[in-house]
Structure 1
């Protein structure tokens, strides 16, 4: 070994980080779409996907930006179909503009009232929004997310007591998050996480996810024993699972449109 190498020591590995940007692409139909581009050192191939946040192009380090854009164009028909399927069909809440917002499988009319502070509440089958003249978009998103979480916690609070006596233990806590793919999860410490979008779905759909995750307190896997526990508590769980297959993507997209990026 040379003196230089001995003094210099072992060379440090070059750290590769994920790079993110976006670009606009025009499909054959003339539709212009913004695509999130992620260059990931772990990626082994070019991948195009669509979720509630929109289309995402993942590139390995060796792939050029031009190759990625060609890939999107080549799969334009598939992309257009996926985006149409994921379209939420709702618009962001606009200050003092008549609208309908989803809750528990129905669309509630929104009634606006003037006030100094922003507040949302259920009142006579409608969503009553008290707001100053010009609330910011960020404030509306936060308020709506807080409203949805309060409603979701109320639902879980009604359902949970009937299931606790037949469980080995209760969840250590219940958290609501905007989840990209899952609808719920149970951590090793018993913390239960649920997708906030569930409160937009019909109540039996939401309750099924709660039952599913609670049954993981009995069996951590998805064995036949696990599904027997689910069926004992939710006999029509297959119908609810089918509902997710048909409407799940749209449900997540709806919540993202209404509350995405709220802090």
Structure 2
């Protein structure tokens, strides 16, 4: 068995199929947590949790897990297309969230409990998909800007430097950049990632205000603000492709 396979558990379902679940201990985890996105199933748990307890937790939730994976249609061809009126599961801030459609007088998008609700007028049925994508893009950008404003308020004073502006848009390969005018650009797909991943990217770019290279001195500066930065870098390397594909599915461009 390869080292990579050691990070997975294989779970047999009642109908005889096998589900592969990525497992990872996390130093800040307080409980076992199972999530499902278009990239597959993931189980995080507190460090020191006995393997038998981890597997028992999976067995307890096997029916839920199989149902969520079926809803996502994980057949290796990527996330399912966005269809007006059809509920779908999306990753939002690292959480598996159900997106549902509703008819109403005015176009809107809002979180209601554990659901993301898209409301569109009935007479816009022919333009439902582009209208929904425009709403989704605005909503995701607002999520990022809210979090970034808090991060900037927390770290720019200590760093004694701040970007002149923050742009949010889809990026093909990068997660963020800082240009020569000190304007920060962030990938819109970070709205789908856990807040910790966004935090890493923001701190990464903020530290470039002081050091424009990736020297050991630069990484020491990053670590001084975020000691766990390597975990988030590795998470983005592992999940990034699926996350960007999910954004493309939602807003229709890349």
- TM exceeds 0.5? yes
The CA deviation string for residues 196-231 of structure 1, in whole angstroms up to 9 with x for no partner, is 101111111111001000000111111111101100
TM-score by length of 1: 0.63
Q: What's the offset of the Cα at 1:260?
A: 2.6
Give the CA RMSD over aligned residues.
1.7
Residue in structure 2 matched with residue 97 of structure 1 by the alignment? 86
**Larger radius of gyration between Structure 1 and Structure 2:** 1
Find the aligned partners of 1:97 and 1:248 in 2 and give their Cα distance: 25
Alpha-carbon shift at residue 88 of structure 1 (Å): 7.8
Query: Given the alignment, which residue of 214, 223, 226 partners 1:231?
Result: 223
* Partners of 2:152 and 2:162 within 8 A in 1: no
Change (3 A) 1:140 1:239: same
Pick the aligned partner of 1:188 from 180, 197, 200: 180
Equivalent residue runs for 1:1-263 within 5 Å: 89-133=78-122, 134=125, 135-261=127-253
Question: Gaps (5+ residues) in structure 1?
Answer: 1-86
Deviations 1:164-215 (A, max 9, x none): 1122321111101111111100011111000010111111111100100000
- Give deviations 1:117-148, integer Å, cap 9, x for gaps: 22111121211211122143222111111111
Aligned residues: 176
Deviation string for 1:39-61 (max 9, x for gaps)?
xxxxxxxxxxxxxxxxxxxxxxx
Give, in whole Å, the separation in 1 of the partners of 2:233 and 2:253.
Answer: 28
Runs in 1 of length 4+ with deviation above 6 angstroms? none
Q: Which has the higher contact order (CA 8 A, sep 6+)?
A: 1
